[in-house]
Amino acid sequence: MDYNDINEARKLLNLDEAATMKELKNSYRKLANLYHPDKNKSPSTENDEKMKKFNWAYKILLDYCSDYKYSFKEDAVARTYPYEEKMRKWNDNWFDSI
């Protein structure tokens, strides 16, 4: 697995360059509902090939995400949730202004 595989998988699933796991799963499910042989009334080899590609893309991205190391350091969490961090700092320091 390399960047090209991950980028191709992302594009197949119609994802932006940054996406949450929720967005990844929702995008995959939406495409699977459209092209899955059990859901689609007109079975075709084209739909079968698309489902194989979607399954490949989903697996690639899930593998990439499962191998990703998340940081639980304060500054990393603050970048992810800037509003909550700002409110935490305000709540912690509001007595200083009195």
6-33 pLDDT per residue, tens: 999 999 999 999 898 999 999 999 999 9
30-65 pLDDT per residue, tens: 999 988 877 777 667 788 888 999 999 999 999 998
Q: Which long-range contacts (CB under 8 A, 24 or more apart) does 11-20 make?
A: 12/53, 12/54, 12/56, 12/57, 13/54, 13/57, 13/58, 13/61, 15/61
Decide: 57 and 13 in contact? Cβ < 8 Å.
yes
Q: Domain 3-97: which CATH class?
A: mainly alpha
Statement: the pTM of the whole predicted model exceeds 0.75: no
**14 token code pair:** 């119609």
